[in-house]
C-alpha cells in the first residue's frame, strides 16, 4: 500500500470562497486579508497578525525587522541588531529559517537538537551564547514545542530577541498558550502540506505595536498604505502625496484575497485537522 506524504485538505468551501473573490473583481491585498489577520490573531491570542505570501517571507520580514532603523526594543530589552551579530537556531530546521538570517546580515549559529523530541537542546544554547548573540530562534518541530521557560530565562539574562519559528506546530499549546505567542514574534506557514493552507501563505504574530507597524511597512515596499497609524505618519510628510509615500525599505510579500478566502475557511477546520493528525500519529 502506498501512503502519500500529504493530501489536499480543501474542498468546496474554499473553492467557492475563492470563486467569490474572482467574481468580485478585487483580488489583491484587501479587506479579506485584513479580516483573516484579525481572525487569526483572535484565535492564536496575539495583539497583531501580519499576513504574508509564505512562511519563508514571514521569517524574512521578522529578521529584517531586527536590523531596521525603526526596530523597537524586545520584551527583554534588546534593540536593533547590527551586521555580524549572531542568531542561535537549531540544527533540525528548514533552510528558510537560516537563509533570512544570512540575508539580513546576521550570522546563524546552529546548535544541537534533542535526539528524541527533535526540539532545540537548551543546554547547547548556553554553550553557543556569546557577546555577539542578539537573538534566539527556537523552531517548534513536528507539532511539538520547545520548552519556553528555558528560552525566556536565557533571553532575560542576555537581553535577546526571541523569534519562534512555528511553521510546523500551528495549534500546539505549551502551558496552556499557543506556541508562537510567547516570544517577540512567531512565524507560521500555510503551505499546501501544513496544518492549514492558503495555497501559499504565512503569518507573523506579535504583541508589540511598533513592531507590527514596522512589519506591515516592510511587507509592502515601505509603503504607508496599510499602517494602523497611517494618518500620524503621513502628517510628517504632508508635502508628499500619501498615495506614493514610502517611509522605509521593504519587499513585496503581500498575499492575495484568494489566499485569505482560503485561510478563513481553513482556520475554522484547524482543530479537527489537528485532532486527525493526533489520531494518525497514534495509529
What contacts 24+ positions apart, CB below 8 Å, involve 90-94? Answer: 90/119, 90/120, 90/121, 90/138, 90/139, 90/141, 92/118, 92/120, 92/139, 92/141, 93/139, 93/141, 93/165, 94/167
CB 48 within 8 A of CB 207: yes
Distance CA 159, CA 152 (A): 10
Specify the 3-state DSSP secondary structure of 177.
strand
Strand order in the sheet with 185-189: 48-52, 202-206, 185-189, 161-165, 133-136, 86-90, 107-111
Instruction: Name which of 6, 3, 42, 39 is nearest 262 in CA terms.
Output: 39
Do 56 and 168 form a contact (C-beta atoms < 8 A)?
A: no
| Dihedral sign for Cα atoms in the order 186, 192, 195, 197 | positive
Q: Among this protein's residues, is 195 annotated catalytic?
A: no
Selecting among 48, 140, 194, 226, the annotated active-site residue is 194
Q: Which residues are the active-site residues?
A: 194
Amino acid at each position: 500500500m502506498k501512503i502519500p506524504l500529504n493530501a489536499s485538505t480543501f474542498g468546496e468551501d474554499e473553492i467557492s470562497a475563492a470563486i467569490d473573490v474572482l467574481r468580485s473583481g478585487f483580488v489583491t491585498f484587501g479587506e479579506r486579508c485584513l479580516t483573516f489577520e484579525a481572525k487569526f490573531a483572535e484565535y492564536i491570542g496575539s495583539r497583531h497578525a501580519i499576513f504574508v505570501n509564505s512562511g519563508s517571507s514571514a521569517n524574512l520580514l521578522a529578521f529584517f525587522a531586527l536590523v531596521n532603523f525603526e526596530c523597537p526594543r524586545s520584551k527583554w530589552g534588546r534593540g536593533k541588531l547590527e551586521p555580524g551579530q549572531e542568531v542561535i537556531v537549531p540544527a533540525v530546521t528548514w533552510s528558510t529559517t537560516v537563509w533570512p538570517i544570512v540575508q539580513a546580515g546576521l550570522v546563524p549559529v546552529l546548535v544541537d537538537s534533542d535526539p528524541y523530541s527533535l526540539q532545540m537542546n537548551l543546554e547547547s544554547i548556553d554553550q553557543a551564547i556569546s557577546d555577539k548573540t542578539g537573538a534566539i530562534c527556537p523552531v517548534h518541530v513536528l507539532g511539538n514545542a520547545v520548552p519556553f521557560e528555558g528560552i525566556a530565562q536565557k533571553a532575560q539574562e542576555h537581553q535577546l530577541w526571541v523569534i519562534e519559528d512555528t511553521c510546523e506546530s500551528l495549534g500546539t499549546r505549551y502551558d496552556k498558550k499557543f506556541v508562537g505567542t510567547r516570544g517577540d514574534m512567531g512565524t507560521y506557514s500555510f503551505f499546501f502540506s501544513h496544518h492549514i493552507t492558503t495555497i501559499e501563505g504565512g503569518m507573523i504574530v506579535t504583541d508589540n505595536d511598533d513592531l507590527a507597524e514596522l512589519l506591515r511597512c516592510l511587507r509592502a515596499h515601505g509603503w504607508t498604505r496599510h499602517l494602523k497609524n497611517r494618518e500620524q505618519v503621513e502628517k510628517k510628510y504632508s508635502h508628499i502625496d500619501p498615495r506614493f509615500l514610502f517611509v522605509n525599505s521593504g519587499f513585496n510579500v503581500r498575499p492575495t484575497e484568494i489566499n485569505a478566502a482560503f485561510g478563513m475557511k481553513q482556520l475554522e477546520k484547524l482543530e479537527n485537522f489537528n485532532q486527525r493528525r493526533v489520531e494518525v500519529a497514534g495509529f
